[in-house]
Each structure stands twice: as C-alpha cells, then as structure tokens.
C-alpha cells in the first residue's frame, strides 16, 4: 500500500512516499489544489 506523508506545510514541503512500509522517495508533483497526484492511484494521504 502506498502512503504519502505531508510535511508541516504541504504547499512547500514535498511528500515522503512509502510503499509497504519502505521509504521509496519523495513525491514532488502535486496538483494545483495541493493534493498528491498519487491520490488517484489509491494512495493513503497521511497528514
């Protein structure tokens, strides 16, 4: 399962993305409203 973690300021802080508990990288591409593009693939957004 994908989990995306926002920083304190989602508008400026890239999200950390983990897959099955392993940190896989940083997601920097966000939609205009500040939500993660990964959301469309069923990612769990954790603030």
Query: Could you report the per-residue pLDDT of 6-46, keeping only the tens digit for each?
Result: 555 555 555 555 555 455 554 544 544 445 555 555 556 55
Question: Contact at 8 Å (CB) between 34 and 40?
Answer: no
Other C-beta atoms closer than 10 Å to the C-beta of 33 total: 5
42: left (phi over 0), alpha (psi -120 to 50) or beta: left
Q: Where are the domains of the chain?
A: 2-46
What's the pLDDT at 43? 57
List strands edge to edge, sheet with 15-19.
22-27, 15-19, 2-5, 44-46
Q: Could you tell me which residues come within 8 angstroms of residue 9 by beta carbon, excluding any fewer than 6 positions away?
A: none
| Residue 18: both structure tokens together | 């983990």
What's the pLDDT at 17? 59
């Amino acid at each position: 399962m994908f989990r995306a973690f926002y920083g304190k300021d989602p508008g400026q802080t890239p999200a950390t993305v983990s897959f099955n508990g392993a940190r896989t990288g940083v997601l920097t591409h966000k939609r205009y409203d500040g939500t993660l593009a990964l959301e469309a693939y069923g990612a769990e957004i954790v603030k």
